[in-house]
Structure 1
């Protein structure tokens, strides 16, 4: 351990805390990005495929602000269709229902469930 003069102690503590915070922030952003890519890949694999265009138009949008790392996975071209496929809907003629084809929620449940444990590990280890 280095000898630190008492008048520099506050500066050294501040610097150590700043480095820890930056390391944790970078680790959290990387973990969130990795999880988002995994969810996107799984959602594209589970998406209904008639022509394949629907699955290809899923994208990740970054919504970051100070202290928040958020990724939104959505369908850029067919965004109005997602909830109809995910949860099913009444047929156009009103007779019966179209069966649901879950693809986003199972992908999120599969990979998103491990994210809190990963974030806890990052915080405990300092990045």
Structure 2
């Protein structure tokens, strides 16, 4: 005789595992793509700021991973460049938006990757 509750539990565990794999794969791909895009779209005076983008992985309670994208070398410049800032002797430095567009694209790409992974997986 088949234990129905055990079979349901087993099927649910398998689906959770598949979902975690899809999420993990999608998050890593989107994070890698976002870092590449930030490196190419960031303001380039010397190229040091643009080359400083990277990602950091963290494990979550759901056994999946999340990624934080940040500028490793010049984190203090991101806000100043994205939104502009006041000059010491008056006036303003114009904003050079480059992060918000990549963020919006990454969110859309993550959603698309997850849908694609679930449909195919």
Question: What TM-score, normalized by structure 2, do the two folds share?
Answer: 0.86
Q: Which runs of 5+ in 2 are unaligned?
A: none
What is the CA-CA distance between 1:81 and the residue it aligns to? 0.8
Matching residue within 62, 75, 78 for 2:57: 62
Query: Deviations for 1:8-59, whole angstroms, at most 9, x for unmatched residues?
Result: 3322222111111101101011111111111111111111111111111111
What is the CA-CA distance between 1:78 and the residue it aligns to? 0.6
RMSD, matched Cα: 1.9
Counterpart of 1:33 in 2: which secondary structure? helix
Question: What TM-score, normalized by structure 1, do the two folds share?
Answer: 0.83
Q: Which runs of 5+ in 1 are unaligned?
A: none
Partner of 1:30: 25
Within 2, Cα distance between the matches of 1:126 and 1:38? 21
Matched, 1:81 2:70: no
Larger Rg over CA atoms = 1
Counterpart of 2:76 in 1: which secondary structure? coil
What is the CA-CA distance between 1:121 and the residue it aligns to? 4.8
Within 2, Cα distance between the matches of 1:114 and 1:57? 23
Matching residue within 72, 93, 99 for 2:89: 93
Contact residue 23 and residue 126 of structure 1 kept, 8 A = no
Partner of 2:7: 12
What is the CA-CA distance between 1:117 and the residue it aligns to? 4.1
Matching residue within 29, 35, 42 for 1:40: 35
